[in-house]
Amino acid sequence: MSTITPDVIAAHQLTQSEYDKILRLLGREPTFTELGIFSVMWSEHCSYKSSRIHLKKLPTQSKRVLQGPGENAGIIDIGDGVAIAFKIESHNHPSFIEPFQGAATGVGGILRDIFTMGARPIAVMDALRFGRLDDPRTGDRNRRIVDGVVSGIAHYGNCFGVPTVGGECVFDESYDGNPLVNVFALGVFRHDEIFYGKATGVGNPVIYVGAKTGRDGIHGASMASAEFTEASKQKRPNVQVGDPFMEKLLLEACLEAMKTGAIVGIQDMGAAGLTSSSCEMGSRAGTGVEIDMQFVPQRETGMTPYEIMLSESQERMLLVAERGREDEVLRVFGKWGLDAVAIGEVKDDGMLRVKDRGKVVAEISNRALADEAPVYNRPYTKPLRTAPLHGPDVHSGDLLADLKRLLASGDLCSKRWIWEQYDHQVRTNTVAGPGAEAAVIRIKGTPTSVAMALDGNGRYCALDPREGTKLIVAECCRNLSVVGADPVAATNNLNFGNPERPEIMAQLVESIEGMADACRFFETPITGGNVSLYNETLGVPIHPTPVVGIVGTMPTAEPIGIEFKNDGRDVILLGGYGASDTEQFGSSQYANVIAGCVWGTPPKLDMNYEKRVQTTIRELVRARAVESAHDVGEGGLAVALAECCFGRDEIGVEARMNSALSKEFLLFHEGPSRVIVSTGNPEAVFEAARKNSVEAIRIGATLKSRMAVSNQTETLLDCAVQELKDVWENSLEHLLHSPHHTPVSVE
């Protein structure tokens, strides 16, 4: 047996005080295998030790929540005896080391979290962050990462047979050495089909199913809990390899086996593999779990118990069956051609006992591993902030040229190149897919559809993590309201830098507190999620990037899209022209792309007003009083109006406004709580707005193929829709394929 020296402890990313706690809990020195087990279970990735005390501030309950945080996924009731399970999870570090497999296994992992609960996955979305494509230094590498990540997501989701229905993608140099891949998945089931990860029933067999165990991914969880250094490139073997075909078989076999009634608990082997699944199932049930390594199906020879327990080989599940009925379960897995082997049984002593051919190699209390990980109240100061409060005066030389540059920028251009690689229709439920304000999935056999959206804005959060996070929650709820859905519940993915730096910890704390406020206000409790820390490369942190995924429900109906449908309709701006000042304008995409620098503060949010705008648009969409609806988001009013024109028929708009704002602010400020609608029934829109005390301004009318915008007597924009659409639609492909793209110059 290896001797446990301070070097060995450090190599497991445990501190001396954490090791001392292990000694106390065990009352002796750990074995090498035990040290490995502690190191993964107590890693930041698995234990949330830096974030746990702050995550408690989040609202987690409502009448609709059937399962909050702590399980593999959150569950909410959507009526008619039907429920949905959903969660978001990151695979950031693996995706940097090996973009294709890192992203692919990110999809695989979150899908297992959903179907381990008994739900059939019916939708996936992705929040992606990459470095800039036009950076002469890093552009080549960033392009390769984009290509690998997108192909990896497509490879896994398409083959598995789950539609990728939406998401978002942002490019910023803060993600240069640390891309983010956050994958959201959602599944559907009946209330009586819900399964939990609990090892109940002393004497029940513990069964291993799915792919064989190899040496891949050992210490993946601890890798995801450290900053990147040059040495990270040596960690490639830590990245797992995914097999979506195996996962598809595992899905069908698990759902079929669950129907036998012989399964009492089930959990996927995700981060920390066999270790986390066994001790968490034992811990939740208050039982012990005893397993013997000799029975674990292995695809390599000579694996040690340490390696088997820490492997993160994909497409594996651990389940507990009712004693005497295991054959019913094994028969189903046999039908699907999968390994299913009893590797141990449930005990009454609360211990995780790992044997190797009968000899005990690890014996630790399940609670010690799953629930007694160290919890840190890490010191925090003021959030890290590098941007100045004041910026240059903004005077546009050419508004139309500015608009085109915005439409061509990575963050605002069409993401068609990405989503055409994803099967977004399989399972024939996609009422509204990629490119829509929010994705809408009908639930067959019910009158209900589920809407979902992902939002994140690192630029706002870098300026003010608290207000930035509130704006994200507000925008996500607005996206759902614009398609006619009531926001119901949320999941979060908190991507931050090194929490041991007080100014980074402050970003995390303020962001969580902002999220708590907003989620409480919009009545969207957080039912689960993921925290990804140490997103730094060579000491440079990413922008604080909380991502929220919010789901809502609505009556099933044909969707109302973003784009204008007919000419001669009134165009009305709900929420009015909004307000901005020179500080708030510094957080806009105009500042970022056109002025080439970011400063100031995020836009001001009035949550009460926001909620009223959301109520108004939801009522109008449900009453079908509008033909199109689109919120004003990044890029401001001009970008949103242009996007409304990019439908198949290229219906344009002539807008004549009367605002005291400067022309740059009017066109490009990003003040929230605004929605553009087109309608043949303007009275209904004004009436709904009046009722909810929301400003509604008729700004013009739709017309064929031209976009013309004026304020008072001044013409601001006048252009053929086709010309704008070409720029918007083809920019990403151009950015990805031209190796000598000219960097955006600062005017």
Partner 1 sequence: MKFGVVVFPGSNCDHDAWYAVSQNLQQQAEFIWHDSPSLGDVDAVILPGGFSYGDYLRCGAIAKFSPVMSAIKKFVAGGGPVLGVCNGFQVLVEAGLLPGALVRNAGLKFICRTGPVRVETTDSIFTHQAENGQILQLPIAHGEGCYIADQETLDRLEREDRVALRYLDNRNGSMRDIAGILNEGRNVLGMMPHPERAADPLMGGTDGLVILSSLAGAYAGHAASHSPASKI
Query: Given the DSSP bridges, would you call strands 316-321 and 263-268 parallel, antiparallel or unpaired?
Result: antiparallel
In three-state secondary structure terms, 376 is coil
Q: Which of residues 537-576 bind partner 1 (CB under 8 A)?
A: 556, 558
Taking CB under 8 A as the criterion, the residue among 144, 190, 357, 444 binding partner 1 is 444
Shortest separation between residue 256's beta carbon and partner 1, angstroms: 12
If you search the block for the tokens 């979290």, which residue do you land on? 113
Roughly how many angstroms between the first and final C-alpha of the chain, as a whole number? 65
Number of other CB atoms surrounding residue 280 within 10 Å: 27
**Beta carbon nearer to partner 1, 245 or 299:** 245
430 near partner 1 (CB under 8 A): yes
How many residues belong to the site for partner 1 (CB under 8 A)? Answer: 30
Window 337-356: contact mask with partner 1 (x via CB under 8 A): x-------------------
360 near partner 1 (CB under 8 A): no
Spatial separation of the C-alpha atoms in residues 6 and 420, rounded to whole Å = 51
Spatial separation of the C-alpha atoms in residues 534 and 6, rounded to whole Å = 23
Stretch that binds partner 1, among 231-239, 425-433, 464-472, 707-715 (CB under 8 A): 425-433
240 near partner 1 (CB under 8 A): no
245 near partner 1 (CB under 8 A): yes
425 near partner 1 (CB under 8 A): yes
In three-state secondary structure terms, 395 is coil
Shortest separation between residue 559's beta carbon and partner 1, angstroms: 8
**Beta carbon nearer to partner 1, 656 or 734:** 734
Query: Which residue out of 12, 54, 91, 543 is catalytically annotated?
Result: 91
Taking CB under 8 A as the criterion, the residue among 3, 17, 301, 428 binding partner 1 is 428
Shortest separation between residue 183's beta carbon and partner 1, angstroms: 17
CA neighbor of 443 nearest in space, from 550, 555, 558, 560:
555
In three-state secondary structure terms, 321 is strand
In three-state secondary structure terms, 71 is strand
241 near partner 1 (CB under 8 A): no
Spatial separation of the C-alpha atoms in residues 619 and 482, rounded to whole Å = 9
Spatial separation of the C-alpha atoms in residues 538 and 138, rounded to whole Å = 15
Question: How are the residues of the chain apportioned to helix, strand and coil, as percentages rounded to the nearest 5?
Answer: 35, 25, 40
Query: Given the DSSP bridges, would you call strands 351-356 and 288-292 parallel, antiparallel or unpaired?
Result: parallel
**Beta carbon nearer to partner 1, 250 or 490:** 250
**Beta carbon nearer to partner 1, 243 or 312:** 243
Shortest separation between residue 712's beta carbon and partner 1, angstroms: 41
Taking CB under 8 A as the criterion, the residue among 128, 154, 370, 653 binding partner 1 is 154
CA neighbor of 384 nearest in space, from 563, 188, 547, 540:
540
Spatial separation of the C-alpha atoms in residues 730 and 155, rounded to whole Å = 23
What one-character-per-residue DSSP string does 189-228 give?
EEGGG-------STTPEEEEEESPB-STTTTHHHHTTS-B
441 near partner 1 (CB under 8 A): no
648 near partner 1 (CB under 8 A): no
Beta bridge partners of 210: 316
Shortest separation between residue 245's beta carbon and partner 1, angstroms: 3
Which amino acid type is present at position 26?
L
81 near partner 1 (CB under 8 A): no
Taking CB under 8 A as the criterion, the residue among 14, 46, 133, 431 binding partner 1 is 431
Taking CB under 8 A as the criterion, the residue among 180, 246, 369, 454 binding partner 1 is 246
How many Cα neighbours within 13 Å face the side chain of 505?
A: 16
Query: Which residue out of 45, 54, 219, 669 is catalytically annotated?
Result: 45
Cβ distance 176 to 132 under 8 Å? Answer: yes
Taking CB under 8 A as the criterion, the residue among 29, 348, 420, 606 binding partner 1 is 420
Stretch that binds partner 1, among 95-103, 177-185, 414-422, 453-461 (CB under 8 A): 414-422
**Beta carbon nearer to partner 1, 192 or 558:** 558
297 near partner 1 (CB under 8 A): no
Please name the residues in contact with 461: beta carbons below 8 A apart, sequence gap of 6 or more: 468, 469, 472, 507, 511, 543, 544, 545, 546
Window 156-185: contact mask with partner 1 (x via CB under 8 A): --xxxx------------------------
Spatial separation of the C-alpha atoms in residues 248 and 261, rounded to whole Å = 21
Stretch that binds partner 1, among 208-216, 349-357, 423-431, 511-519 (CB under 8 A): 423-431
Residue 12 a catalytic site member:
no
Which amino acid type is present at position 665?
F
Shortest separation between residue 479's beta carbon and partner 1, angstroms: 20
CA 345 from centre of chain: 36
Q: Among all residues, which ones are annotated catalytic?
A: 45, 91
- Judged by the rule CB under 8 A, the positions of this chain that interact with partner 1 are 151, 154, 158-161, 243-246, 248-249, 336-337, 419-428, 430-431, 442, 444, 556, 558
